[in-house]
């Protein structure tokens, strides 16, 4: 006789380029001592993306409140629907999944491109500033496209239209009801905000742990996956973020930031070493998962920047140069 089904652990409900699942152990090993002691009851993530770090840390530390920010309006809409109307979302996804999986390969491809066209065409009719009844259907379309597009990418063209091609997966899991319900439960203490990372400032104080996961600086001209919004994320934006990081540090918050390591391809590239001079910078191994060429998904290093000693949980001042 089979025992009861184990509960589903909250984790990202869609695929996301640059997701941090593979680095979770490295992050968990470097949290500040105050977080383990329960004296940092607020969690802020100014670039929520796929949310792997949020789901792990909120499940582990049970913050009093969490604040997630992103400029990707589709992403914010999907999180909001999971939190506020997961039953309607599940209903829409079940209908989409049943229809899609009942088709042959050619029919699934045709369904995907028709859904993508409808998704882009309807965007101008969506009020992303105010929760509405149409949001659940929109979120279901977003999750469907994410689960069936090539490599789980989110990429838009100059007009802001989603333009990732069909992924040709066999029996993709479009609906994961248990996961969506687990995520909805975890999101109860969380507010999801549509906005630039600087809008997180009012929620950051000496009671806050902040994790920054900006679009990664590309290691070369062909490795950029920062086009999750039509504006992109340039070196100027990386410098603006570093200024914000120092502002949050001055306010007494505990901070962690991750990014690509330019020294993977150029040992003399000190872009982030200069940008975050005076803070702790760890280089950790990772595997670049998003690449159209499987042979190029090899081991690289990424950086973790903290304003506290990540290897000593005792209180210690951050060295300043």
pTM: 0.89
Torsion from C-alpha of 61, 317, 21, 56, nearest 10 degrees: 0
pLDDT, one tens digit per residue, over 283-304 is 999 876 444 444 455 678 999 9
Would you state the pLDDT for residue 248?
Answer: 98
pLDDT, one tens digit per residue, over 184-243 is 999 999 999 999 999 999 999 999 999 999 998 887 654 444 444 445 689 999 999 999
Q: Are 272 and 242 in contact (CB under 8 A)?
A: no
Question: Tokens 């595997």 sit at which residue?
Answer: 287
Average pLDDT, the chain: 89
Compute the distance between CA of residue 88 and CA of residue 19 in angstroms, rounded to an integer: 26
Compute the distance between CA of residue 261 and CA of residue 263 in angstroms, rounded to an integer: 5
Position 313 confidence tier, pLDDT thresholds 50, 70, 90:
low
Q: Identify which of 211, 253, 214 has the alpha carbon closest to the alpha carbon of residue 58.
A: 211
Instruction: Please give the structure tokens belonging to residue 301.
Output: 């290093």
Alpha-carbon torsion 320, 26, 76, 9, what sign? negative
Would you state the pLDDT for residue 198?
Answer: 98
Question: Tokens 């998962």 sit at which residue?
Answer: 289
The domains of the chain, with CATH numbers, are 21-71+195-224+233-306 (3.40.50.150), 80-178 (1.10.1020.10)
Residue 309 has pLDDT above 60, yes or no: yes
Q: Are 94 and 175 in contact (CB under 8 A)?
A: yes
Write the DSSP string, 153-191: ---B-TTS-B-PPB---SS-----HHHHHHHHHHGGGEE
């Amino acid at each position: 006789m089979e025992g009861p089904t184990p509960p589903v652990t909250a984790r990202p409900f869609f695929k996301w380029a640059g997701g941090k699942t593979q680095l979770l152990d490295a992050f968990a090993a470097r949290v500040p001592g105050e977080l383990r002691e329960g004296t940092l009851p607020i969690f802020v993530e100014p670039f929520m993306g796929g949310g792997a770090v949020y789901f792990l840390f909120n499940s582990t530390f049970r913050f009093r409140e969490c604040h997630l920010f992103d400029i990707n309006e589709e992403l914010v809409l999907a999180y909001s629907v999971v939190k506020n109307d997961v039953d309607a979302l599940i209903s829409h996804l079940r209908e989409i999944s049943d229809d899609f999986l009942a088709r042959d390969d050619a029919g699934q491809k045709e369904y995907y491109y028709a859904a993508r066209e409808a998704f882009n065409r309807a965007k101008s009719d969506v009020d992303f500033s105010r929760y509405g009844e149409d949001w659940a259907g929109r979120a279901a379309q977003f999750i469907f496209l994410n689960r069936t597009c090539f490599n789980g990418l989110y990429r838009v063209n100059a007009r802001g239209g989603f333009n990732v091609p069909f992924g040709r997966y066999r029996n993709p899991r479009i609906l994961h009801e248990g996961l969506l319900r687990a995520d909805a439960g975890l999101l109860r203490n969380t507010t999801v905000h549509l906005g630039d990372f600087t809008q997180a400032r009012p929620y950051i104080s000496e009671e806050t742990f902040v994790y920054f996961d900006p679009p990664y600086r590309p290691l070369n001209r062909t490795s950029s996956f920062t086009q999750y919004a039509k504006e992109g994320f340039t070196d100027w934006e990386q410098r603006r973020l570093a200024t914000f990081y120092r502002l949050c540090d001055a306010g007494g918050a505990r901070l962690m930031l991750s990014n690509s390591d330019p020294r993977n391809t150029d040992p003399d590239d000190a872009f982030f070493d200069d940008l975050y001079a005076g803070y702790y910078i760890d280089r950790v191994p990772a595997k670049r998962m998003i690449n159209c060429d499987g042979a190029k998904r090899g081991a690289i290093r990424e950086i973790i920047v903290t304003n506290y000693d990540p290897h000593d949980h005792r209180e210690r001042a951050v060295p300043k140069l």
